[in-house]
Structure 1
Amino acid sequence: MLFRLALRTRTFKLTALMTAVALAVGPVVPARAQQKGPPVLRDTESEQLLREYTRPILRAAGLEKQNIQIVIINDGSFNAFVADGRRIFVNYGALLQSETPNQIIGVLAHETGHLAGGHLAKMREQLAQAQTQMIIAMLLGVGALAAGAGGRGNGLSSAGAAAISAPQAVIQRTLLSYQRQQEENADRAGVKFLNATGQSAKGMYETFKRFTDESLFASRGADPYLQSHPMPVDRVSALQELARSSPIWDKKDDPALQLRHDMMRAKISGFMERQDTVYRRYPLSNTSLPARYARAITTYLHGDLRSAIAQIDGLIQVQPNNPYFHELRGQALLEGGRPAEAIAPLRRAVQLSSNSPLIEMLLGQALVASDNKAYTDEAINMLRAAVAREPEAPLGYTQLAMAYGRKGDYAQADLASAQAAYLRGDTKTARDLASRAKTRFAIGTPGWVKADDIVSAKPMPGQKNN
């Protein structure tokens, strides 16, 4: 199941933050971070594959015990970045545009290089130092302006203005130079990790080479000292020399892994692209499994449930133990208004996926939507277990609230609704529901304490305090 989720933490590109701080004295919050944050896409199949991609890289970097997570951002452009030291953010566009596992693994290796090098912490130190330098420069400049005004002389006033503006340009260049060095270090570290895990750096080189070709015109005439990343040609040239020195330069991805990668790309295309775009990418003449997967998804999304189910059943015949085909069948039936029929394929998907919490939430939704009260306790138990393992997924709490409401447990229903609203970023609604839940729980009970926590909680980063 692929669905969107509001991201809880404030995220931003270091480039945006660094440039902003270099141009202003006070703390600066990027415009995008002032909103609720970029939406996140959740999908068990994609997330599992990305975990497998990053696990050996993180082990080679000595970060295997750091619980680094991969977060898929709902953005069609090709980008990946780190922002908080414990997560790597990848746009779905990067997954869709990467033709081989090795290409996206190379990008992940580069981002791991940033984490292993402690670049976020070091950048914060540079930013703090830059702010201090800027304040000093401002004070000196203001002092010169005051002296010029007191002496009624334009010379000191002009000097004061120059003292304010000149250091800003110097500090900006210094910070940009520092970040360019970080990017080069991350490239070298990424190649090192790939070599250590027996993987070629060719995909990493191919990715950066493609962007070099695309950005040559845009970067023509640019000042290399005002760029946050190394100039494209220089960067790719250095990367090519480093990557080609590896004895495994020409090593290919395993065919089975390539198929899984192609299936992930097809799934993203089916869910995220227009139907006509999907059919151009995967025409009917293409009878491969990924093409059939993409067409089945876009068929059900655009209302032809009967045809979609037939296509999904054809996929299941080819791979009867693929949990994500059964998940898709259940999701199509559930969203097509047939929740009772969705239960069986979703049960099978849960079983085959070793109890994926996201798929359990979908099954819980089907159990609740079936209107069969006999399923209420099962839904509650399943959803409670799912949100315990995936506490940042609003869907689980929303369905849990409905299940409790059906049972007549309105205290727990209000609490679950409050938790869902809080995760969606609706702080006012969350507090209102939690306040009502407190009146229904006995004082000091676990439910009362959880509700009180929501009432007194500060808004999550990026949320408004309504």
Structure 2
Amino acid sequence: MPAIAPHSRTARAIAFAAALATAAAPTAATAQGGIPLIQDTETEQLLRDYTRPILRTAGLEKQNIQMVIINNASFNAFVADGRRIFVNSGAITQSETPNQIIGVLAHETGHLAGGHLAKLREQLANAQTQMIIAMLLGAGAMVAGARSGPGSGMSQAGAAAMQAPQEMIRRSLLSYQRQHEENADRAGVKYLTATGQSPRGMYETFKRFTSEGLFAARGADPYLQSHPMPAERVAALEGLARSSPYWDKKDDPALQLRHDMVRAKISAFMERPDTVSRRYLASNNGLPSRYARAIVTYRHGDLRSAVGQIDALIQEHPNNPYFYELRGQALLEGGRPAEAIAPLRKAVQLSHNAPLIAMLLGQALVASNNNAYTDEAITILRAAVSRETEAPLGYSQLAMAYGRKGDYAQADLASAQAAFLRGDRKTARELASRAKTRFAVGTPGWVKADDIVSAKPLPGQRNN
């Protein structure tokens, strides 16, 4: 699981919503190192399989909606730019069944299909105009009060005139957001029912979180919440969910196994070894437990033992590309890149040329220090970065391969692209500037380098 480095809809997130209205910051931040991400073919494929029928039903199948996994242990999922669904790794690991996380994804699809982000931006723009007018009117009253003398009371009236409309606008925006959440709930249930899936998991997930937040919500002003109050929301959702003819439908056992395998993988890569050991006991011979233990063994223990455990998994499931990927990654990170090439070739083949796995193969070819592999590595890596454009690993390995061939223009450009994706804009500009001097003016390489040099900083970033 190549974990590489880059948000949450909170209960009172007017400031955050305003940030979304001004720019699609999470998109660029994801691409350039602002949010810690997990990029893993197995996990991303599972989430794509979860969302595909829902997106088709919602009329979004052709919109190229992407799944982005954030390396964060808390349960959260959200949309932020109209073309991506962001999912915390904790949302996956805390969902005991596929149906639970699918329900959350259906809810987020409801936000996308409803155009809620665009509508919220419009509301925020209107609110900003209203607030400016209110401030100008209030300021005018305060000036008039000052001219009339301190005893006129107009100064105080002006201050009140500035504050009251702002509070009314804030409440209006929050009400608007609550309505979006309710609409997304209804849309999510509709999509699940239309695809023959149970909305029970969606209801169970939201019920659990509303129960956890019930104490905090006691005494809260329902008109100052961006989401419906817990009891109201869960009651409405329960009525909708129970009306589905698929309420009692269970997840397919094969899908449940894939879900458990991904949960085990995320745990093994992201959590402490002792935590993983307690969760996946040595006495448990289930496939997810063995998968987790093999990962932990290679990352924190004996490489030889880990390879033996992985080989046992491969022997039982010879067509699972992710077991070959794990074997190759273990050998590569264990300092045996030449031995990693064969299993990674197999993983690429079985995964139908998954770009992230192809990048690992390219890395193994480069790290083998065998010049006979250089051209092959460049071919594989160029194809991979053309499909997975936001992975620094592919560009950094491509830079090494070009450097080995003595093509320093392309090496500088690839290094600049890798630095840009990591968020190191200063280094990216320096490398791109040098690359421009090595390309003929106007050539594709020169244009790409110039784009990096000329790129403006993202909102909240400094161009240094």
Q: Identify the TM-score tier after normalising by the shorter chain.
A: over 0.9
Pick closer, same or farther for the CA change 1:405–1:446 going to 2, 3 Å: same
Deviation string, structure 1 residues 375-434 (Cα, Å, up to 9, x no partner): 101001100111111111110000000001111111111111011111111111111111
Partner of 1:2 in structure 2? 2
Partner of 2:346 in structure 1? 348
Structure 2: 5+ residue runs without aligned partners? none
Partner of 1:175 in structure 2? 173
Partner of 2:51 in structure 1? 54
Residues 1:45 and 2:38 aligned together: no
Q: How does 1:148-297 map to 2 (within 5 A)?
A: 148-154=145-151, 155-297=153-295
Pick closer, same or farther for the CA change 1:323–1:418 going to 2, 3 Å: same
* RMSD, aligned α-carbons: 2.2
Partner of 1:362 in structure 2? 360
Deviation at 1:303, TM superposition (A): 3.6
**Shift >6 Å, 4+ stretches:** 26-31
Measure the CA separation in 1 of the matches of 2:186 and 2:379: 48
Partner of 2:81 in structure 1? 84
Pick closer, same or farther for the CA change 1:363–1:29 going to 2, 3 Å: closer
**3-state SS of the aligned residue for 1:4?**
coil
Measure the CA separation in 1 of the matches of 2:344 and 2:458: 33
Q: How does 1:127-142 map to 2 (within 5 A)?
A: 127-142=124-139
Q: How does 1:309-348 map to 2 (within 5 A)?
A: 309-348=307-346
Contact 1:331 1:362 in 2 (8 A): yes
Contact 1:266 1:291 in 2 (8 A): yes
Pick closer, same or farther for the CA change 1:30–1:416 going to 2, 3 Å: closer
Deviation at 1:335, TM superposition (A): 0.5
Deviation string, structure 1 residues 241-294 (Cα, Å, up to 9, x no partner): 110011110000000010000001010001111111101111111110001111
Measure the CA separation in 1 of the matches of 2:260 and 2:23: 41
Pick closer, same or farther for the CA change 1:345–1:36 going to 2, 3 Å: closer
Contact 1:419 1:430 in 2 (8 A): yes
Match of 1:69 among 66, 71, 76: 66
Letter in 2 for 1:50: L
Measure the CA separation in 2 of the matches of 1:437 and 1:265: 42
**3-state SS of the aligned residue for 1:141?**
helix
Structure 1: 5+ residue runs without aligned partners? none
Measure the CA separation in 1 of the matches of 2:418 and 2:273: 31
Contact 2:12 2:225 in 1 (8 A): no
**3-state SS of the aligned residue for 2:288?**
helix
Higher alpha-carbon deviation: 444-453 or 231-240: 444-453
Contact 1:75 1:93 in 2 (8 A): yes
**3-state SS of the aligned residue for 2:4?**
strand
Residues 1:382 and 2:377 aligned together: no
Pick closer, same or farther for the CA change 1:462–1:422 going to 2, 3 Å: farther
Match of 2:300 among 293, 299, 302: 302
Letter in 2 for 1:135: I
**3-state SS of the aligned residue for 1:81?**
strand
Measure the CA separation in 2 of the matches of 1:59 and 1:30: 27
Partner of 2:140 in structure 1? 143
Pick closer, same or farther for the CA change 1:461–1:400 going to 2, 3 Å: farther
Residues 1:399 and 2:397 aligned together: yes
Task: Report how many aligned residue pairs link the two structures.
Answer: 460
Higher alpha-carbon deviation: 75-84 or 311-320: 311-320
Contact 2:241 2:247 in 1 (8 A): yes
Deviation at 1:37, TM superposition (A): 2.5
